[in-house]
Structure 1
Amino acid sequence: MASPTSRVGQQFGNYRLERLLGRGGFAEVYLGRHQRLAREAAIKVLHTYLSDREVEEFQREAQIIAALDHPHIVRILDFDVQQGVPFLVMDYLPNGTLRQRHPKGERVPLPTVVSYVAQVASALQYAHEQRLIHRDIKPENMLVGRRNEIVLSDFGIAAIAHSTSSMTEQVSAGTAPYMAPEQIQAQARAASDQYALAIVAYEWLGGERPFEGTSIEIFAKHLMIPPPSLRQKAPSLPVEVEQVILTALEKDPGQRFRQIQAFARALTDASQRGQQPNHVLLQASPSLPVAAPLPPSASNTPVAPPSQKTVAEQPLPPAAPASHASVTTPQTAITASTDFLPPPAKTPARQLSRRTVLIGLGVGTGGLAGAGVLWWMNRPRSSDTTGTASTPAQPAPLYTYGGHTIDSINIVAWSPDGKRIASGAPDSDDTVQVWDASNGAHPFIYHGHTGAIITVAWSPDSKRIASGGGLSDRTVHVWDAANAAHPFIYRGHVQQINAVAWSPDGQHIASAAGTALDKPPDKTVHVWDAANGGHVFTYQGHTSYVNTVAWSPDGKRIASGGSDSTVHVWDAANGGHVFIYHEHTSHVIKVAWSPDGKRIASASWDNTIQVWNAANGGIVLVYTRHTGYINAMAWSPDGKYIASGGDDNTIHIWNATTGTPVLSYQGHTRRVQGIAWSPDSKRIVSCGDDKWVKVWDVFGVLPNRAG
């Protein structure tokens, strides 16, 4: 690593480095001056040298970060790699950081803290909706803008460095006093940023951080010890404010606020109106019915948003060789339950043994990135006796398919004849794989795309597959499902293909495109001839990019959901006769029609799945049991159940009429990306970010299925 002042006078890109502004664990920041325009910028030079492979990954990640456009996020103006050293060019903000404005030990007035939290939470909410996690929230990374606004920095470090193997250890380590328990366990998520921001707010209000000591001592306290009373440090602080802070500091991320902006709003409410804690913490919209009411005792209890109960999980099989598909039969438990509600009182944090903490922290093995964390991430999970049903049903896990060569599997689709499954993967894999649904055997691989596979759909007769590509591909391929022969390519979109859907008669395809970093959002759905790609018409009703599209069972209507938080239902013949469903508050990720065509289910990053009348948008129920973003959702072909999964690593199966939860499946160790039912509604295939495609049997376990 170069010494802190050795780069002064050097030139990076068009900028000459004039003086050192600061340095941290990941980078040095210099004041740079453009050689032709004489403009000043902050140049962040990372402490690493990248291989050729890492250069490509850095450039891809940096391009994503540079696309962030928010008033409370520092703009990245340029980026490059110079002699193996990556650097970022950012807006220069000369007013320093909030650490400089409020040195350690200084208490900050409550109204000021509320303002700071609201601005930072606004930036983080935006980033989370782009599926980016900061991972290093602290006062040093909060800059003061030219108009005294707060601007969050170091997204470039937190996201870009995390993607390069040479810096993974440093980023995993993070900044100990602000790290959430799950981040210490190398499982950072959006809720980890909320925890860190709550630590910062605690420090400002109380004059000191809740946990001090050596790094190992701090990590152990994050994992095991509740934070000390904030009001003992600041007796004049309203109890409502303390309760909001402590909720955001829950050990279990599922017990924190569902979104970071909800934390900021609750803090604002508590400071301004002195509400009771239970009023501050309510997250449900009063205009929407919930799937199942809380018990009477819960209405007066200051609990965080509900999380589903824990079920037993056995170790997953070892990773399969990249050269061929593997089929395994993990012993994964699925717990049947009719009660997913949290206990009326706040659940105590799970107590960890000293041995578990030391192993999890990797003591003696180089810290968080050592063998201890690898063990922690892959450890068997014991059953939580407070969370499981007393006599859980045990449907049979059938097998695990491991044919892809990358950890993240985007999509799965079951053929309508029930005989085969198709799965698609991104990045270096870039394949669609088709295999025997009964045992995972006889796979063949479609290599036609030039980039990530985002979406896959079978034709109604199971003879063809349509697959959509990512940013480096931007096409839809239609090909023979038996042997990948005779493909034709639809090139009508100029951006990533987010969704494809066949008409029930197999004659047409609807495709929806997303965003591209080099072009404005597409915002359209194309309807075209499935035989030759002939364009029929384009639907242009959305105001942001479209994430999902589904054809009604009778073929007369199409439902499309987008990042404008709406679902549009329109005439499949010409795009007319539109009505718009407005009840979501964030990106709509999936839509599905009930098999009888009378209802639509829509899944959103507002952490709800809403079921509503397909004719007029009247709400039937709202399912709110997931504790993270929802990425996948499918209606069973028999119409009785909906399966949903997401960033909480679980799949819920619940009654499509009442919203009553039935099963929770925890066979995946990372977020769930795709779900599909078998045509007979007896099996489910699921995929996610843990490499594995899992096929499991629910027949005989779901109500009215036994026998």
Structure 2
Amino acid sequence: MFPGCGYLLHGARFDRWRVTTLLGRSSVADLYGAVVMPEVGSSLPLYDKVLIKVLRSPRPDAIPQVERLVQLKHPYIHPIVAGGLVENDNTLYLLVPFEERGNLWPYTRQDRRLPTGMVANLMRQLAEGLQYAHDQGIEHGRIKPENCLVVTPSKVQLSDFYNLLLAREALSFGQIDPTADIAALALLAYQLFSGAHPFSGALPMPGRSMSGVLYRPLREFRADLPPQIDEILQRALMPSGYDRFPRVSVFAQALHQAVEGRKSTSGPMAFPVQTRSSSQELASSFRKQVVGPPQKIIELCQLPGHTSPIRTMAWASDGTHLASACDDPNIRLWRIRQRIGTPLGMLSGHTAKVLALEWSPQGEVLASTSADGTVRLWDALAPVVSARARAAWLGHDGAIPALCWSQDGTYLATGGADRAIRIWQMGGDVLAAWIAHGRGGVTALSWSPDGRFVASGGADQAVYVWDPVSGNRVFSLVEHSDEIRTISWSPDGSFLATVAGKKDQRVCLWSTQNGQLLAQLRGHAREVVGVFWDPRQANWLATIGADRTLRFWSTRNPVPGTPLHALQLPVSVSASAGPTGTYMLALGKEDMQVGIFQLS
């Protein structure tokens, strides 16, 4: 698989993946793109596209360090799937998921600056991931915009903790310590706020002294920012590590408080649609390769404990934690690892059955709504799970069948039987509220990937698309003949799939550009209980039916709605969630158990 020089061959097989493209080379590493080969079996998580990084000059004890990095699991740290020594050569490989959305580099330009509140949110995410790494005794040493990957429209992950693996002579700078990472993070914050560099001289590398260079105040570029931000960044960028903040978390908290002093409520924030950069052009041939839908479904484990049919479920963003609820007021939490499902506890607080569950995009907070008319937030991933909610909000008159998070986790939308949609801020204040549907109220909600729109469905059989700040209606989508049960945006935001109740067994596929009905997906003999998308390019859609079938449909070629194939489900299904990034699907079974299935 590897020639003697240590470079991968085009077409070489690497476990589940096939090498397709050389994406870049540097003095310490080569970067390759690879796509999945569904016919090859493996115990590794299944990502349809991956990057293979081949590092030259690894340190002698690199393998134990690779194991440390593989175990570095955090929502804001980009995962390493696997790593090891290259055969017959003094090089090291690392296998990581490929991220379509790129990195933060385009947003360090003045013409691409992000909103101030969003910059603060991104810095909070990066700081949380970096602090977690520091707590494990791991410094980064190379923090820069290119190493901050955009994984959703409002979430970033820190990548390339590779200094831990390289021999000291392969590094281009000296000793790295936690305060050097703080300085590099402050430098990134300055660039995102201003689109410029804070020093008039050459760029100091992390670990090198920044004495003798003049700091340029942010007011030279942004008159709207408070001076406290400059004070915080200047301290973090001091030449001596002793003069900087003692911990990343202290720096992040100070920056957050300074920004909160001027933050406005101008609406949801997410990354704007990007134009193609030169690096995107370089990888275009790799990205255009289409990976088809799954061909097999295998049951991994069963989760008993519910006393009635499962009504709603939700995966956390880490792909290992699941929340589920039936017709009672309790929420059950589970951790899924390989073929083992472990119960973590029960969340009690609602006084009537739970109607909807959804984790925040960061995976830290679980939101629930109930027939008791309350919205509750839970710290469900805390080291010790508390059975009590961190917050309980009142506002709707009656049951609340629907909820959804904004893509940056800043807002929560809820829809009630009182016909209203309410947009909540995290403190419990209501940003906006309006009457959205007729008799029977709101039954489904979904926030668009770019954060600009909220789609709602009602018992009145209509689907509407709204501006979530003003409450103005953008589109009316009317076609179904029963109440709307599910609304799902494609990952790229170009399509909307809608599902209705038992009287209407179709899935409608809509264009989000003009509200046009593109296709009606017919084929299930009973109602559809769930849908999910091709996670990368929205080339296909999957529908889960109560008729024990999982059907796949093309969304682009030859025409939208073309049937592809179907898989037989071993059970009758009442609810579904997923799949996760590793293609695990949760299904509510007729025997009142949750089944965890692997798609491959």
Q: Shorter-chain TM-score: which interval?
A: 0.3 to 0.5
Q: TM-score, normalised by structure 2?
A: 0.47
Structure with greater strand percent: 2
